[in-house]
């Protein structure tokens, strides 16, 4: 078995409900909320002594705190409060309050706790849903990746800001049993989000197809079986599309198949993730500035791995198949060329006009494998197109589907988890543009053509088979329900952290995939 050449960030958080009043809690930091009222911060109710409330309100006024979303104000304690630090997190206007703003406030506050190890959250949640959302945000905000630093010193500006929280207690609201179940889920979610983020952040000289497959094999929880298909097997079985992508690299491609099969499962969801561990563009070479973040081009596969593992840890009663399409897209004398024709696993031939449109080539063989598992639903997720970023920005993902109702249900699931997602149609003419004069399909319509995200999705859709598990949809057969999520924008954050989102890998899409497994979005 291949050894894994990288470590993972430690995840040893304790997450509980607070048993003491906020002012009396034994903690390094107490987190409170503030609403934005006429541009100024107004402390949210938190069951504090009057002297503490008055002192905190005066301090917020003096410091000109605004209560804006994602803002934090760190104070050196307050009269009558046991905690050494008080962190006041902005919630925005109360009329615009959402559960995700509680998540964001908790995440931002935890990151601002400056060396605190035990934190108590007393944000203004009114029910179990809000309590759990705050807990999720705190767990996600506690993530820090310092694995590749030679040392962590107080003088290092980046590392000085890394949270050191090890214990989080949440002042609960709502049904206690619902809160307890939600906290357990939040901890599992946080652990798998940390794993996905670590994978995305791992440099490509450590994370490559073979080591990625070895990591998920080593990491798989009880109940998940992992099958790894190596390059020679891919070629012999006819998976020519992903094999072609990986030809230019000395590190051959892999497909890792993760299977979770709980007893009595009534539904089966297959998820396919793009796992390009580094993307130079191949012979259609990217400019240097276009490569700087391309270690993140496997964010879809990371999200799938984390979602499958979380489902298993939580004992979700849905069968799940995760298919990770892993390759490194490099130029070399062996690399595929623009104009080459490859044969995908389902027998369709593809003219490769652009070797930098490699993600869809790697994933199409994975979609054929997903079909053969005979699921009830297929979801795929990828950092696929720059067009998605141009249309939706850096924080929002896009989704298309072969059924409008399914697409909107996936959007609804994402909204519930706090992941911004916008549904888009696939125009009919996009399908027509993928016909090649020399092969069955071509991997792009042309350079600079519009609807780039939908073009990639339309290509992938051709590899989703029938509900009977057949590779092709013929006669009266029905195509499997399918949705494609493009996370090219939100998968990797190059700016300063915000809310519970760190710099670097974000784990984008994992929460939506897990929600789709817990509540399968089929009519």
Q: What is the DSSP string of 234-278?
A: HHHHT-HHHHHHHTTSSS--EEEEEEE--TT---EEEEEEEEEEE
Instruction: Tell me the two tokens of residue 164.
Output: 């050191």
Q: Is 279 annotated as a binding residue?
A: yes
d(CA 256, CA 428): 33
Residue pair 301/274 in contact by the 8 Å Cβ criterion:
yes
102 backbone dihedrals φ, ψ, rounded to 5°: -65, -45
Q: What is the DSSP string of 127-153?
A: SHHHHHHHHHHHHHHT----TT-S---
Q: Which of 360, 442, 462, 511 is catalytic?
A: 360
User: Which residues are CB-contacts of 157 (< 8 A; sequence separation ≥ 6)?
Assistant: none
Q: Is 297 annotated as a binding residue?
A: yes
Angle between helices 176-201 and 299-314 (to 10 degrees): 150
DSSP state of 429: H
Q: Is 93 annotated as a binding residue?
A: no
d(CA 359, CA 336): 14
Strands (E) located in 26-183: 29-37, 40-43, 72-75, 85-90, 118-122, 167-170
Q: Closest Cα to residue 398, out of 459, 454, 448?
A: 454
d(CA 493, CA 521): 28
Q: Is 404 annotated as a binding residue?
A: no
Active site residue 360: yes
Residue 373 CB: number of other CB atoms within 10 A? 16
Residue pair 485/398 in contact by the 8 Å Cβ criterion:
yes
Active site residue 295: no
Q: Which of 40, 118, 286, 395 is catalytic?
A: 286
Torsion of CA 491, 91, 189, 216, to 10 degrees: 20
Residue pair 33/44 in contact by the 8 Å Cβ criterion:
yes
Q: Is 519 annotated as a binding residue?
A: no
484 backbone dihedrals φ, ψ, rounded to 5°: -120, 130
d(CA 500, CA 497): 8
Q: How many residues are present in the chain?
A: 523
Binding-site residue numbers for Mn(2+) are 274, 279, 297, 356, 358
Binding-site residue ranges = 274, 279, 297, 356, 358
Just list the catalytic residues.
Answer: 286, 360
């Amino acid at each position: 078995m291949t050894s894994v050449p990288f470590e993972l960030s430690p995840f040893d958080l304790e997450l509980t409900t607070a048993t003491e009043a906020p002012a009396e809690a034994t903690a390094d930091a107490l987190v409170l909320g503030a609403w934005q009222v006429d541009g100024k911060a107004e402390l949210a109710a938190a069951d504090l002594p009057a002297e503490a409330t008055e002192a905190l309100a005066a301090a917020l006024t003096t410091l000109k705190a605004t209560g804006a979303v994602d803002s934090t104000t760190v104070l050196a304690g307050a009269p009558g409060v046991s905690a050494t630090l008080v962190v006041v997190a902005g919630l925005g206007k109360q009329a615009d309050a959402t559960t995700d703003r509680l998540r964001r406030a908790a995440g931002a506050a935890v990151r601002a706790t400056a060396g605190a190890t035990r934190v108590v959250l007393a944000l203004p949640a009114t029910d179990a849903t809000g309590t759990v959302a705050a807990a999720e945000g705190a767990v996600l905000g506690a993530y820090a990746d310092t694995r590749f630093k030679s040392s962590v010193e107080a003088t290092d500006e980046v590392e000085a800001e890394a949270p050191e929280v090890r214990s989080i207690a949440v002042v609960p609201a709502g049904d206690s049993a619902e809160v307890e179940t939600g906290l357990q889920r939040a901890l599992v979610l946080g652990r798998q989000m940390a794993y996905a983020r670590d994978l995305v952040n791992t440099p490509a000289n450590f994370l490559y197809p073979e080591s990625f497959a070895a990591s998920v094999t080593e990491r798989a929880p009880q109940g998940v079986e992992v099958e790894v298909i190596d390059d020679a097997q891919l070629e012999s079985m006819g998976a020519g599309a992903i094999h072609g992508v990986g030809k230019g690299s000395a590190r051959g491609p892999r497909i890792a198949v993760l299977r979770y099969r709980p007893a009595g499962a009534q539904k089966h969801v297959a998820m396919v993730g793009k796992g390009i561990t580094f993307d130079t563009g191949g012979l259609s070479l990217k400019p240097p500035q276009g490569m700087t973040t391309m270690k993140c081009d496997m964010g879809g596969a990371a999200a799938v791995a984390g979602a499958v593992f979380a489902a298993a840890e939580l004992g979700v009663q849905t069968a799940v198949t995760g298919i990770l399409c892993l390759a490194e897209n490099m130029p070399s004398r062996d690399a595929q060329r623009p104009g080459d024709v490859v044969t995908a696993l389902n027998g369709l031939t593809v003219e490769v006009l652009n070797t930098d449109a490699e993600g869809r080539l790697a994933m199409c063989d994975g979609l054929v494998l997903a079909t053969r598992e005979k699921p009830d639903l297929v979801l795929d997720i990828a950092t696929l197109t720059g067009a998605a970023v141009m249309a939706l920005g850096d924080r929002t993902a896009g989704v298309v589907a072969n059924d409008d109702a399914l697409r909107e249900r996936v959007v609804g699931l994402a909204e519930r988890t706090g992941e911004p997602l916008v549904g888009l149609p696939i125009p009919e003419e996009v399908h027509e543009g993928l016909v090649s004069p020399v092969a069955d399909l071509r991997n792009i319509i042309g350079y600079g053509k519009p609807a780039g995200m939908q073009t990639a999705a339309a290509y992938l859709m051709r590899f989703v088979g029938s509900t009977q598990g057949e590779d092709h949809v013929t006669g009266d057969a029905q195509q499997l329900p399918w949705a494609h999520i493009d996370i090219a924008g939100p998968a990797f954050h190059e700016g300063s952290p915000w809310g519970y989102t760190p710099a670097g890998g974000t784990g984008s899409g994992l929460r939506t995939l897990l929600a789709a497994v817990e509540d399968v979005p089929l009519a």
